[in-house]
Chain A
Amino acid sequence: MEGWIIALIVIGVLLLVVLVWFIATMNNLRQLKVKVKEAESGIDVALTKRFDTLSKMVETVKGYTKHEAKTFENVVKWRQNMPDELTVKQKEEFMEKMNQIQSDINVVVENYPDLKAEKVFTNLQRGIADVEEHLQASRRMFNANVSRLNSRIVTFPTSIVAAKINMEKYPFFEAEPAKRQDVKMEF
């Protein structure tokens, strides 16, 4: 066989290998991105659940103090002015606002022991503790997936594929130092 034919076959095989690798890497990155998106929607669900439970709690404490209801109304207004789909940064902000309301409610509970004894309120507190756990789980799952995706994006040679398909590093759902502390639940 002529030398140039062999060279052509070798080049062809090499190109095919590169192409297969490129497609496999591209699919892998896209799958990771889908996982990140799924995890992000988990955060959305948990945030919405927390918002709903908090609104019920605010409704219960309304009889004891007007301040929390006012704060909550402000959060509702803030949310209404935001697009349906929040960015990660906006979600962090939303969580922080809810943390604030939660802390305020805890202060009210401290000042009104009758409230602590109310069955409805206790159930809501139990509910919010669970929602909180789900939110933490979603946040950790999101960050774990983001970490995996980001490290693939910056690692050579996957970084070449990532750049070709315009895939960029994803932001983490970070809690600032003040927010990192668990919201204290009083029972």
Chain B
Amino acid sequence: MKEGLQGHQERKRRAERVILLGLPVLALGILGAVLGTAETFGDWAVTAGAILIVFAVLLFVIGFVLFQRFESNFKHEFLKDYLSGLVEEGEFVPKKGFKKIQGLDPGDVYNTEFIERADRFYSYDYFRGKIDGVDFVSSDVKLQRIEYETYRDKDGRMKRRKKYVTYFHGRVFHFDFNKDFTGNVLVLERYKPQTRRKYSKVEFESVDFNKKFRTLATNEHTAFYILTPHFMESLMKIEKNHPGNLGFSFIDNKLYFAIHTGKPTFSVRPFRRLDEKLLEKFREDVGLIHNLVDDLKLNRKIFKED
């Protein structure tokens, strides 16, 4: 596996070298264009500068395409086996996500009832498996909404332009929940309910928990049934490591969990080392799923018939 990693590291370096090569070419191009403005050098310097700038842009494009190709290969040839091996019945599919065309519906994301419907929906790095007998499905999700901004054009006229704003970029998980319950419960930090269902606010005995999370339920008893003192403590612990970014919902005997990180979970960035340290970071991300199962005791099946 280590050899494989080195092979990918080499491919990554090749792509980075092309990008790096673009930098001096770009510098020369700019220099040429600047010198061209002086009378001594004339038009030929401007032309050479422009050609060099175009060539530099071409190198950047090629470099980034090569990098994307490397990343795709890395995920398919290395990360797929690596991550799948970290959990029971593990399956990592880089291109797949909560997408309708691949059999999974964006509805799986909106079923959380706290993630707002997007104008642009991206989903990738599907990862499913079993931890201590608990089934989970997860995927990276990036959601954007259309916003309009007004600006003045060069003639001073007011104009309006459309732009896409990312409001969620992170990971969404579904877990089998170990208790049967009636009604829905939302435990939210930065989100709002996105449903017409009638939710009421629930206040628990823990003042700290009430301060951190806003709990809404269609049935107050269910909220107390699901959120035992231990469960609340575990949510607080998870929140401590990811402050301000969590959302949980308990719907149809499933636990939905969303974490906004603002970046892809399993990505390799240019000019960052591809080594054991990065794999360790990926293992930690998978560790979050382990923590959820262990801390929330989702593997305790004493409340449900097998």
- Using a CB–CB distance below 8 Å, which chain A residues touch chain B? 39, 42, 123, 126, 129-130, 133-134, 136-138, 140-141, 143-144, 147-148, 185, 187
Q: List 26 A-B contacts (CB under 8 A).
A: A39-B220, A39-B221, A123-B305, A126-B302, A126-B303, A126-B304, A126-B305, A129-B302, A130-B179, A130-B303, A133-B179, A133-B225, A134-B221, A136-B228, A137-B221, A137-B224, A137-B228, A138-B224, A140-B204, A140-B224, A140-B229, A141-B224, A144-B224, A147-B205, A185-B302, A187-B302
- Knowing A140-B205, A144-B205, A148-B203, say if A133 contacts B303 (CB, 8 Å): yes
Interface string of B286-306 (1 = CB under 8 A from A): 000000000000000011110
How many contacts between A and B, using CB within 8 angstroms? 42
Closest CB-CB distance, A18 to chain B, in whole Å? 28
- Using a CB–CB distance below 8 Å, which chain B residues touch chain A? 179, 203-205, 220-221, 224-225, 228-229, 302-305
Q: CA separation between A185 and B302, bound complex, in Å?
A: 10
Chain B residue nearest to A141 (CB atoms) is B224
- Knowing A130-B303, A133-B179, A133-B228, say if A143 contacts B221 (CB, 8 Å): no
- Chain A contact residues, majority secondary structure: helix
Task: Flag if A144 contacts B305 (CB, 8 Å).
Answer: no
- Chain B contact residues, majority secondary structure: loop
Task: Flag if A42 contacts B221 (CB, 8 Å).
Answer: yes
Q: CA separation between A148 and B221, bound complex, in Å?
A: 16
Q: What chain B residues lie within 8 Å of A42 (beta carbons)? A: 221
Q: What chain A residues lie within 8 Å of B229 (beta carbons)? A: 140
Q: What chain B residues lie within 8 Å of A130 (beta carbons)? A: 179, 302-303
Closest CB-CB distance, B17 to chain A, in whole Å? 60
Q: CA separation between A133 and B220, bound complex, in Å?
A: 14
Q: CA separation between A148 and B202, bound complex, in Å?
A: 12
Q: CA separation between A185 and B220, bound complex, in Å?
A: 26
Task: Flag if B303 contacts A143 (CB, 8 Å).
Answer: no
Q: CA separation between A144 and B305, bound complex, in Å?
A: 31
Q: What chain B residues lie within 8 Å of A187 (beta carbons)? A: 302
Q: What chain B residues lie within 8 Å of A129 (beta carbons)? A: 302-303
Q: CA separation between A94 and B130, bound complex, in Å?
A: 42
Closest 8 CB pairs of A and B: A137-B224, A137-B225, A141-B224, A130-B303, A129-B302, A140-B224, A144-B205, A42-B221
Chain B residue nearest to A129 (CB atoms) is B302
